[in-house]
């Protein structure tokens, strides 16, 4: 296994190395959990390893050897490499002893929202935001279709958060971190949470108040976008 490197190229003195980049909301889900827990505990838990997605790194054989799925994030720890943000969040909740389900009923509820997030909430939001912000001349019909799908998913979460501080009630869990992956890119998405989805807005404000909270463009390497290779 190759020695983990930080974005600056140095070997990190941290328990976890997180492969990803600033524009990736899926990477942000994991980074935000690690950063806020680390701040709470007074120590640095993780170091970033920049993945140059926009210059094609995830398509290279070298990166496919790291993650056969060719995606970010990847979490490296104890000689292991784990991909898929939902699986990573679940493992971290167990290893760190925080933000996980308290019992079997909560485990089912956390899983329900992780699946909803990956299938509907982050999935549509990330695709729509990518086309709207980074793609050249996206098809207006595709954008309209995705926007409608996004609004449906946003409405579900907004209604669910009415009368709740967090997804499972009054306690923060990995379900919140998963669903938070893309909500702070609101300007790039073109949504006004306060006006259109007030319960999501109130929830994002609670997340912003967490010690150690940072915007993904401040927390992760790769912003602004690196210059195109060649």
- Residues 217-228 have pLDDT tens digits of 999 999 998 876
The DSSP code sequence of 42-61 is TS--EEEEE--GGGTGGGSH
Which overall architecture, per CATH, does domain 16-99+213-219 show? 3-Layer(aba) Sandwich (3.40)
How many C-beta atoms lie closer than 10 Å to residue 64's C-beta? 12
Confidence of residue 229 (pLDDT cuts 50, 70, 90): low
Q: Which pTM was predicted?
A: 0.93
Q: Which CATH class is domain 104-208?
A: mainly alpha
Q: Residue 47, class by beta-carbon neighbours within 10 Å (0-12 exposed, 13-18 middle, 19+ buried)?
A: buried
Cα(208)–Cα(49) distance, rounded to whole angstroms? 24
Task: Identify the pLDDT of residue 226.
Answer: 80
Q: Where are the domains of the chain?
A: 16-99+213-219, 104-208
User: Beta strands 74-77 and 46-50: pairing type?
Assistant: unpaired
Task: Identify the pLDDT of residue 7.
Answer: 39
Task: Identify the pLDDT of residue 227.
Answer: 77
Task: Identify the pLDDT of residue 133.
Answer: 97
């Amino acid at each position: 296994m190759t020695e983990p490197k930080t974005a600056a190229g140095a070997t990190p003195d941290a328990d976890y190395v997180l492969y990803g980049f600033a524009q990736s909301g899926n990477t942000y889900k994991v980074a935000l959990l690690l950063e806020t827990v680390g701040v709470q505990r007074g120590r640095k838990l993780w170091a970033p390893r920049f993945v140059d997605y926009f210059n094609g790194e995830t398509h290279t054989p070298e990166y496919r050897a790291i993650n056969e799925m060719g995606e970010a994030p990847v979490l490296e720890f104890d000689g292991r490499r784990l991909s898929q943000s939902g699986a990573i969040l679940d493992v971290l909740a167990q290893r760190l002893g925080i933000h996980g389900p308290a019992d079997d009923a909560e485990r089912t509820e956390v899983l329900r929202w992780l699946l909803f997030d990956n299938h509907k909430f982050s999935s549509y939001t990330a695709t729509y935001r990518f086309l709207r912000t980074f793609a050249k001349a996206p098809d207006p019909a595709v954008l309209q279709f995705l926007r409608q799908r996004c609004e449906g998913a946003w409405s579900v979460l907004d209604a669910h958060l009415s009368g709740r501080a967090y997804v499972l009630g009054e306690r923060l869990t990995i379900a919140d971190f998963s669903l938070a992956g893309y909500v702070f890119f609101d300007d790039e998405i073109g949504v006004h949470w306060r006006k259109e989805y007030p319960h999501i807005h109130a929830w994002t404000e609670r997340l912003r108040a967490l010690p150690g909270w940072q915007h993904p463009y401040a927390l992760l390497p790769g912003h602004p976008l690196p210059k195109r290779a060649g």
